[in-house]
Amino acid sequence: MQNPIEALAQKLPSDFCLLCGGASDVLGVFVPEEPEAWGCFKGKGRIFRYCLCSICQKKPDAAERAEKIIRAELAGGGVTHAE
């Protein structure tokens, strides 16, 4: 059986840049400080896996933009990527 963390680190054919929708080059992991605010049960943790292309990764606001998109998707906003 594969370790769940190792499984998160593997590149998948369906991976795309969360910010521009292009091909992914970099894997990101977002771990909220307050998991309950992100739909998690009290006492549990939550991890969000996302990908970025090399161009978007270099942008200074990449992490903040990724967090906003993840929050919008959780709220049912239907955001698939944001340029």
Instruction: Note whether residue 36 is domain-resident.
Output: yes
Instruction: Note whether residue 16 is domain-resident.
Output: yes
Average pLDDT over residues 36-55: 86
Average pLDDT over residues 45-66: 92
Asked if the model's pLDDT at residue 73 lies above 60, the reply is: yes
Instruction: Note whether residue 79 is domain-resident.
Output: no
Instruction: Note whether residue 67 is domain-resident.
Output: yes
Residue 30 banded pLDDT, cuts 50, 70, 90: confident
Cα separation, 25 vs 53, whole angstroms: 5
Other C-beta atoms closer than 10 Å to the C-beta of 22 total 16
Instruction: Note whether residue 12 is domain-resident.
Output: yes
Q: pTM for this structure?
A: 0.74
Mean pLDDT, rounded, of the chain: 83
Asked if the model's pLDDT at residue 79 lies above 60, the reply is: no
Residue-level pLDDT at 35 = 80
